[in-house]
């Protein structure tokens, strides 16, 4: 049924997912809701921190999608240039969804589109100096913001959680 965690002070800790699982256990006692203990919490975590992440990017004049584009270019390393295909593949977007983002970022002066030097029919998306600076500033602020959400966990717990999530995701990506 539910897993109850006991804090160092002996107090039991329950959360929203425990309450939902308890309701399902009462209504459908034969149903195993263990997966909900993991995936329900992952969804709940995303819902809880998402607005704070969006607000962090908004402080830099970006939405999450725009940040993803300039961050992808920034972490690609010098010369901070990718083809649209490389970008939308990395971001798991449609080409149309990317085009809209690129239009907004170009208008803001954070990227520019250049004809490929060897093939004038191809285009590269290039991060401007302003785009690189904005990506770094927004990423630094985002990491500081997200770090505060980890405060309930000590270093060993954070490392263990990251390792377990890595193992779970790798297994799912490999097709279980």
Tens digit of each residue's pLDDT (9 = 90 or more) over 65-104: 999 999 999 999 999 999 998 998 888 777 778 889 999 9
Token digits of residue 142: 């985002």
State the CB neighbour count (10 A cutoff) for residue 167: 10
Using the predicted structure, report yes or no on whether residue 2 has a pLDDT greater than 70: no
Residue with token string 């449609």: 94
pLDDT at res. 1: 46
**How confident is the model over 157-163, as a mean pLDDT?**
97
Which ranges in 109-154 belong to alpha helices (H)?
129-149
Domains and CATH numbers, the chain: 64-139 (1.10.10.10)
Q: What is the H or E stretch that residue 90 is in?
A: helix 84-91
Instruction: Answer for the pair 56, 147: CB distance below 8 angstroms, yes or no.
Output: no
pTM (2 d.p.):
0.84
- CA 89, chain centre distance (Å): 16
What is the token pair recorded at 95?
Answer: 């080409």
Output the CA–CA distances (angstroms, integers) from residue 21 to 2, 43, 101, 168, in the order listed. Answer: 7, 14, 40, 21
CB 111 within 8 A of CB 125: yes
Helix (H) or strand (E) holding 155: helix 155-173
């Amino acid at each position: 049924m539910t897993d109850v965690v006991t804090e160092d002070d002996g107090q039991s800790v329950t959360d929203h997912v425990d309450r939902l699982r308890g309701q399902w256990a009462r209504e459908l006692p034969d149903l195993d809701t263990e997966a909900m203990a993991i995936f329900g919490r992952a969804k709940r975590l995303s819902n809880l921190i998402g607005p704070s992440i969006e607000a962090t990017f908004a402080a830099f004049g970006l939405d999450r999608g725009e940040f993803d584009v300039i961050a992808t270019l920034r972490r690609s390393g010098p010369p901070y240039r990718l083809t649209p295909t490389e970008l939308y593949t990395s971001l798991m977007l449609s080409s149309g969804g990317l085009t809209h983002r690129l239009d907004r970022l170009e208008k803001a002066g954070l990227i520019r589109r250049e004809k490929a030097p060897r093939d004038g029919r191809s285009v590269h998306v290039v991060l401007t100096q302003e785009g690189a600076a904005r990506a770094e500033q927004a990423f630094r602020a985002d990491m500081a913001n997200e770090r505060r959400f980890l405060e309930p966990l000590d270093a060993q717990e954070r490392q263990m959680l990251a390792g377990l999530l890595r193992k779970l995701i790798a297994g799912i990506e490999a097709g279980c």
